[in-house]
Amino acid sequence: MTRLSDAALEHLRDVAEWPELTGNRYEIVGALGQGGMGTVFLARDRELEREVALKVLRAAASSPDTALRLRRESRILARLEHPGIVPVHDVGRLPDGRVYYVMKLVRGVRLDQYARAAVLTDLLRLFLRICETIGFAHAQGVVHRDLKPGNIMVGAFGEVLVMDWGIAKVGEEAGRREGGKADGNVDAKAADEADEDDATKTAPGTILGTPGFMSPEQERGDVEQIDARSDVYSLGAVLRLLVTGSEGQLAGLPAPLRPLRAIWRKAMAPIPGDRYASAQALAEDVARYLDAQPVDAYKEPLLEKGRRIIAKYQTPILLVLAYLAMRILFLVTRGM
């Protein structure tokens, strides 16, 4: 028997992953990327004549549980209508039974790639929009649980999109009552969603997230303790990477950046109660830094406060000094 080469085996795996869309409105153009659960393809919507992204379960990972998770992810995205979250257009099943959903095609680069050539002030403004997006999700009862630069895209026109909501945690208010009728009865779709939430509920002790960005409660698998403050921790880790270019703390940070270090350290406090109470509160402290105002997380030394005030009001201070110099020169020349 002839043994297949590694290249041939890899080609067969690729063919097995390729979705069969005969008779469907979508036509696959090529593969865009692959994760642990699904593969994202570039597709063409024949009806609307536009390119879209189609995410389908990987053949090797296909199971009733992963199918429920992918369908649940599509419903979470459909629920979160926000400029910072990719909109979902459609959901369905392939002839082989695998679940897929169709979303807006995002053109851009990952945040960590974008950060290599961007200036800090621009990165901080992008960070504020990321916090706004996550704050919106939290208001809908959704915790992302895997925030990291690799899951954040920056588009060609500066748009910021938070991606990959596959392991998001949905609160009871957002996840179970949606679709409920005014008389207290729940329709069939809402009951189906509740069954999905039960089937995909994270068991205690399960560790979900990315090392270096997930909170201590996630690392412990303490599912009941995971809430919006867990995402705040991850946002702090993202901020640290944007400022330093590293996942480490870095000693000897320049004085102007020390308030930012205090901000990310507060966001990444080991005890959830010591962190910012919300993504919005974190964003407000970063906005104060951008506006050259004192930040809540940092006890500013007097010398640094003086430097900050001088930097903020540099132009009017120079004008006053120039005026005083001219007055002195006038008085000196007049008395000669």
Instruction: Report pLDDT digits (tens) over 205-223.
Output: 567 789 999 999 999 998 8
Give the pLDDT of residue 61: 66
The mean of the pLDDT values for the chain is 81
Residue 196's contacts (CB-CB under 8 Å, 6 or more residues apart) are 68, 71, 72, 75
Where is mean pLDDT largest: 14-23, 68-77, 173-182, 317-326? 68-77
Average pLDDT over residues 129-135: 98
List the single range of 12-26, 84-98, 122-136, 193-207 with lowest mean pLDDT.
193-207
- According to CATH, what is the number of the domain 108-167+204-300? 1.10.510.10
Give the pLDDT of residue 64: 77
Give the pLDDT of residue 249: 58
CA dist 224 and 208 (Å) reads: 13
Give the residue with greater pLDDT, 244 vs 195.
244
DSSP bridge partners of 143: 169
Give the residue with greater pLDDT, 247 vs 68.
68
Give the pLDDT of residue 306: 53
What is the helix, strand, coil percentage profile of the chain, to 5?
50, 15, 35
Which among 83, 37, 285, 241 is positioned nearest to 149, based on CA atoms?
241
Give the pLDDT of residue 66: 81
Does the pLDDT value for residue 308 go beyond 90? no
Average pLDDT over residues 286-306: 80
Give the pLDDT of residue 15: 54
Catalytic residues: 146
How many residues does the structure list for the chain?
A: 336
Give the pLDDT of residue 91: 93
Of the pLDDT bands very low, low, confident and very high (cuts 50, 70, 90), residue 237 is very high
CA dist 112 and 238 (Å) reads: 9
- According to CATH, what is the number of the domain 7-104? 3.30.200.20
CA dist 132 and 170 (Å) reads: 18
Does the pLDDT value for residue 189 go beyond 50? no
Average pLDDT over residues 2-18: 55
Give the pLDDT of residue 283: 98
Average pLDDT over residues 104-110: 92
Average pLDDT over residues 117-135: 96
Determine what percent of the chain is predicted with pLDDT higher than 70. Answer: 71
Average pLDDT over residues 171-175: 49
Does the pLDDT value for residue 130 go beyond 90? yes
Q: Which helix (H) or strand (E) holds 82?
A: none
> What pTM does this model have?
0.78
| Three-state DSSP state, 87 | coil
Average pLDDT over residues 174-195: 39
Instruction: Work out the widest C-alpha separation in the chain, in whole angstroms.
Output: 110
